Structure 1
Amino acid sequence: MTTAEPYLPFFVYGTLRPGQRYYQRFLRGRTVSERPALLRGALLYDGPGYPYAIAGDGTITGTLIEVAPADHAELLAALDALEDYLGPGHPRNVYDRLVRDVLVEGRPVRSWTYLAAPGPARELLAGGTPIPGGDWLSRPERPAPPVPRTP
């Protein structure tokens, strides 16, 4: 992250959406608006307890989150750490933080959006599990793994 990042709202599509675990930890009580939004030109894939968005011919359902300007820089740094984003083009990025237009009530709004970095995106395309419909909250629930029994 550079020192002078633009103030933009965040498009969130997984565990940062309202009611989800990382929303509670990072965003609850710090938002000034939360609006339903769509990201076109992207596909959603299931991950180990969280989703990945990659460029593709689809639409992802999410939420556009606006935070108070006074909280923006601190929250941007915290979300970069959560998303394993080390900076533009860094080879160890899990996600890249990019400026993308999302649709809110049919109108484009520029936002920060985390998409899978090139390495994870290639792996997802080769063998990942797409989330039909592009909505993390409506994905089929996976059964819990069996609990090992001790003799």
Structure 2
Amino acid sequence: MSAPELPFFVYGTLRPGEVNHGLLLRGRTLREEPARLAGAVLYQGPGYPYAVEEPGGTVAGELVTPLPRAYARLLTELDRLEEYMPGDPRNLYERVEREVAVTATAAAAAAAMGGDGERDGEEEGDAEGAVLRGGGPVVRAWVYVAAPAVADRLRARGKLIESGDWLTRR
């Protein structure tokens, strides 16, 4: 069974302005929108971050929608970059399907371009829902998270990126 063609949530070196964005994503995407992943925190890695699933955390990044004609090759290249092989216990990362919230900034821009600005399923005064959804739509996306053994090591002795945003780590 092949993987569904979901967008990707990127939070480190694949973000715009970072080294792997230019190498792998530039010119191969339909959209790149600011987004947030709830239920994860970021740890410093050797030149790149790891997202570790953790209740209460939030990671900032971008939701990247590849061009349809580039999808299959891009998926293969991203798996290679992240050294991800399905079922391999030596993986540093696992590619998992998670809900990602497009941030209010991106949702406001979409509304300004002709959208109605309404958020499905959110009632007025639903503050918790607005926070979870980042003020915008929630979509399913592929996310590369730290594999279980790596996550355990990071939790025990890793350097947490308190902001949850790789771009503000310096």
Q: Normalized against structure 2, the TM-score is what?
A: 0.78
CA deviations 1:88-108 (Å, max 9, x no partner) are: x32011100000110014221
Which position in structure 2 is the counterpart of 1:72? Answer: 71
Spell out, residue by residue over 1:128-149, the C-alpha distance to the aligned partner (whole angstroms, 9 max, x if none).
0000110000012xxxxxxxxx
SS at match of 1:45: strand
- What is the alpha-carbon distance in structure 1 between the residues aligned to residue 95 and residue 156 of structure 2? 22
Q: C-alpha offsets along residues 49-88 of structure 1, whole Å, 9 cap, x if unaligned?
A: 000001112100000001111111100010001001011x
1:119 matched to 2:118? The reply is no
Distance 2:158 2:9 in 1: 22
The separation in 2 between residues aligned to 1:92 and 1:77, in whole angstroms, is: 18
Q: Residue in 2 aligned with 1:86?
A: 85
Partner in structure 2 of residue 39 of structure 1: 37
> Counterparts of 2:30 and 2:17 in 1: how far apart (Å)?
16
2:138 alignment partner, one of 99, 108, 111? 108
Measure the CA separation in 2 of the matches of 1:82 and 1:55. 20
Structure 1 length-normalised TM: 0.88
Read off the aligned partner of 2:150 and give its amino acid letter. P
Aligned residues: percent identity? 53
In structure 1, give the amino acid aligned to 2:95: R
The root-mean-square deviation of aligned C-alpha atoms, in Å, is 0.9
Residue matched to 1:128: 158
Q: Which sections of structure 1, spanning at least 5 residues, go unmatched?
A: 141-151
Distance 1:67 1:84 in 2: 20
User: CA–CA distance in 1 between the matches of 2:51 and 2:90?
Assistant: 17
Question: Which residue identity is paired with 2:71?
Answer: H
User: Would you identify which runs of 4 or more consecutive aligned residues in structure 1 move more than 4 Å?
Assistant: none
Residue 10 of structure 2 corresponds to 12
Secondary structure of residue in 2 paired with 1:66 = strand
Query: For structure 2, which runs of at least 5 residues remain unmatched after alignment?
Result: 104-135
